Structure 1
Amino acid sequence: MLKIYSSSELTPQLRARLLQRSSSEDREALAIVQAILDEIAAEGLVALKRISERLDGVAPDPFLVTPEEFEEAELALSSEIKQAFQTAYQNIKSFHAFQRKMLEDQKTTVCTSTLGYMYRPVERVAVYVPGGKAFYPSSVLMGVVPARIAGVSHITLLTPPGRDGKIHPAVLYCARLAGANAVLKAGGAHGVAAAYHGLLTPPAELIIGPGNRYVTAAKNLLASTGRVRIDQPAGPSEVIVIADNTARPAFVAADLLSQAEHGEDSPCILLTDSLVLAERVSEEIAKGLDERPERRSMKETSIREHSYAVVFETLDEAIAFSNDYGPEHLEIATEKPERDLEKITAAGSVFLGHYAPVALGDYFSGTNHILPTGGAARMFSGVGVDTFMKRITYQYPTRESLRKALEPIRIMSKVEGLDQEHGHSVEVRFEGEKDRSPSQG
């Protein structure tokens, strides 16, 4: 069921192929999205209505969720459902509040000047949450809660409506619970463009959240203008499980299948030093598909076409492969997971031990599930409070500290050919001083 490789088979070519993921974008998507962006830029709300009808099958009227819709959503949910999301909200809030405490303003003294930095929130943010055929209230919490804790002034939630023009009650409940200022019933590239241009809400300065290849293309194209920031490129969800012979095959198989449930192109990978474990996990996957046949075709395609196991001589080799891969989710199901964690250099979020399925972080524990995919974890972080903040540096020099900088600045600005004004801007502050040395002109 699960393709199993031995590390001895990993030629440079095969290793490169196993590390490679398909791009979430292509030229066709970029061209389609650019046309949508151009339409929205030229015609505004008129274009948004037209494109929504064409792509979503409905142009909601109004596009913004009303107070009455929020009230109806809350009444539609059972107390059990609301309690579950409230508990998850508190966990997410607690963890991200802890992050905020770590982002403290600081200052120091360098060459008698006071230097420092301070954190300030981005003012206007759009949080994208996939919708339409499926709905993800958990992603509402993951996007809105850290933005609110960061101090963002206005948070717009973007999500496509169903064919009836409505948003699922759980999504609206979580939007209100987390503190979104507005919910725009528009998804895809057109929803992203509407938020960027501020058609119905204040124009977004930062757009975050996962979406399909058209959403990703829209975010990337708009970010290339230099007028909006995004979190990271998004692609198919993925998991690596690093496991040794202490791991339970049924646990590992269940976690791989839970990732396969995300989509046909979701990679689910086992890295181990035990061939016996790899073979038993493969058997458990086949068993799981028989016992839980829902979405079988999707899960089976994910396992057969995008997933595999590699049996290494040592766990250190497995960890090195994982670091090269840079997975979105990484489970470490080994005898000493905390020790192995110290060797990890690239991962979106890490789950330690035999009782840490990805679903725990996806829904409940408090860490964020909006994470870099497609190898982006080698250079991007997942969404956190810092995603919504700017670091501003400052300096407060004394007259004496500027005097010490005078000669080095004169020399450096002359090297760069900017001494006429750059150098002068320092020199002018000391003109006429009786104690100027000859070397100071």
Structure 2
Amino acid sequence: MRTIDLRGRSLRVAELLAVVPRAAEARATALHVAAEIVEDVRVRGEEALREQAGRFDRVTDHAIRVPADHIADAVASLDPEVRAALEEAIRRVREASAAQVPAPRTTELGPGARVTQRWQPVSRVGVYVPGGKAVYPSSVVMNVVPAQVAGVRSVALASPAQADHDGRVHPTILAAAGLLGVDEVYAMGGAGAIGALAHGVPSLGLDPVDVVSGPGNNFVAAAKRAVAGVVGTDSEAGATEILIIADDTADPRLVAYDLVSQAEHDEQASAVLVTPSARLAEAVAAEVERVGSATRHRERVAAALAGEQSAIVLVDDLDAAESFSNAYAPEHLEIHVADAAASAARCTSAGAVFVGSYAPVSLGDYLAGSNHVLPTGGQARYAAGLGSHTFLRPQQVIEYDRAALAQVRDGIVALAEAEALPAHGEAITARFAGDQGPQDLSGASA
């Protein structure tokens, strides 16, 4: 990993962001390619999906709509230890997600004047679960459980067809879907799967969804941008990011393990350490070399850590480290400092914040109860991670009786005239045209 020394420098936000660039060129290329793939699926449907499966997944003539017996077989053959872990993850995520569903709330603005805020679930959700360099049954849990908790009635799940499994979706992913009662599963991957969920594929019996969610590579994230406006999407959860703030109290070995744990996802993964301690920076660099060279995906890790998106950043003090983090807005933020809770309170821009040495990102990936589908690419400045709220639409229900409307009649008429929209005011005064009560359109007393 390269080292960037910012000590003695006072940098604005834009300058901080320029110091550790993200893989912007790769994302720009992905957006162009993904938009073409999505459009191809919109126009040619199943034919395009099959061509893409052959090109990207080395699979042909497979069942894109997964038969029910494939799901049942996967559940039956699931390793008992993995099943127990998935069931515990489901329990924890379900409990934490329930806290994200607001109760209806009615505001009484006066006698007979009520506005009720309620949250309505969307009807149908499309969940994407990656299946390229790794297998993610945990992502099935992280997407499906919040949708179910929100009250979504219909869930369709897509994951790439696997050449090593005769063109089927990976059995562990199928098993996770089965444990959650999801029976509409499609063997399709990448940007094409996002396009299929958004636009529908009649020949497969795949109806369009209302919201598409789920993590993936830069092409999946770009495809979500391509279908935005056609359907709702969660944040663009692209190639993973970890930023660690650490001081002299941190254990360099644990910091190194956590950086490597995220770098193993993808060559485009971002791993950043920000510290005021030159001693710690040197120790972490040595540990990263040792840990990274010994792990199974050492080549992938090495590529990610050598990329321009990864670095060890030296700063003057903890305040500077926190400012850097807030400007960067990482997907995952770990805090390894003496007063980690206080630092976490000041770090306001992150997809998820992991506080202290015993809350690594790996915990959040599986069994913390939090959701691991999080915004990347700086979107944590304004976007939230996946949760039940992703699948809810706030609605306001307005109830006024005649007396309550009379209280605001003159104000409405005045504002309507000020905006040169007199019919707005007339719609109000028509209800008070006589003293006998509201009027119908013919002018007769109601």
For normalisation by structure 2, the TM-score amounts to 0.90
Contact 1:25 1:214 in 2 (8 A): no
Deviations 1:347-402 (A, max 9, x none): 10111111111000001111000000010000000001101111111111122221
* Equivalent of 1:218 in 200, 219, 223: 223
Match of 2:56 in 1: 55
Cα 1:27–1:355 shift into 2, 3 Å: closer
Matched, 1:191 2:201: no
SS at match of 1:8: coil
Match of 1:315 in 2: 318
SS at match of 2:24: coil
Aligned counterparts of 1:391 and 1:408: Cα–Cα separation in 2: 27
Following superposition, the deviation at residue 31 of structure 1 comes to 4.0
Match of 2:441 in 1: none
Following superposition, the deviation at residue 133 of structure 1 comes to 4.5
The alignment of Structure 1 onto Structure 2 pairs a total of residues equal to: 429
Deviations 1:285-325 (A, max 9, x none): 122133x1432222122223222222333212211111111
Aligned counterparts of 1:386 and 1:317: Cα–Cα separation in 2: 33
Match of 2:338 in 1: 335
Deviations 1:131-177 (A, max 9, x none): 14432111111111111111111111111111221122110111111
Contact 1:24 1:216 in 2 (8 A): no
- The code of the aligned residue for 1:352 comes to V
Match of 2:121 in 1: 121
Cα 1:310–1:412 shift into 2, 3 Å: same
Following superposition, the deviation at residue 345 of structure 1 comes to 1.3
- The code of the aligned residue for 2:96 comes to F
Cα 1:8–1:227 shift into 2, 3 Å: same
| Structure 1 range deviating more: 249-258 or 39-48 | 39-48
Match of 2:155 in 1: 155
- The code of the aligned residue for 1:105 comes to P
Give the root-mean-square deviation of aligned CA atoms.
2.2
Aligned counterparts of 2:73 and 2:217: Cα–Cα separation in 1: 29
Deviations 1:236-268 (A, max 9, x none): 211111112221111111111111112222221
Matched, 1:106 2:105: yes
Contact 1:52 1:190 in 2 (8 A): no
Identity %: 37
Match of 1:401 in 2: 404
Contact 1:130 1:159 in 2 (8 A): yes
Contact 1:327 1:347 in 2 (8 A): yes
Aligned counterparts of 2:45 and 2:350: Cα–Cα separation in 1: 39
Following superposition, the deviation at residue 11 of structure 1 comes to 5.2
Cα 1:14–1:121 shift into 2, 3 Å: closer
Match of 2:440 in 1: none
Within-5 A mapping of 1:235-254: 235-254=238-257
Match of 1:205 in 2: 210
Contact 1:3 1:307 in 2 (8 A): no
Contact 1:154 1:202 in 2 (8 A): no
SS at match of 2:215: coil
Gap runs ≥5 in structure 2: 438-446
SS at match of 1:240: strand
- The code of the aligned residue for 1:211 comes to G
Contact 1:25 1:216 in 2 (8 A): no
Aligned counterparts of 2:313 and 2:27: Cα–Cα separation in 1: 29
Within-5 A mapping of 1:4-403: 4-9=4-9, 15-23=16-24, 26=27, 28-100=29-101, 103-112=102-111, 113-163=113-163, 164-199=166-201, 200-223=205-228, 226-290=229-293, 292-305=294-307, 306-403=309-406
| Structure 1 range deviating more: 23-32 or 334-343 | 23-32
Cα 1:262–1:196 shift into 2, 3 Å: same
Following superposition, the deviation at residue 434 of structure 1 comes to 9.4
Contact 2:107 2:114 in 1 (8 A): yes
Q: Runs of 4 or more off by more than 4 Å in structure 1?
A: 9-14, 24-28
Deviations 1:394-435 (A, max 9, x none): 11112222112222211211222211x111111101112499
Following superposition, the deviation at residue 97 of structure 1 comes to 2.2
Aligned counterparts of 2:40 and 2:313: Cα–Cα separation in 1: 48
Contact 2:330 2:350 in 1 (8 A): yes
Cα 1:350–1:298 shift into 2, 3 Å: same
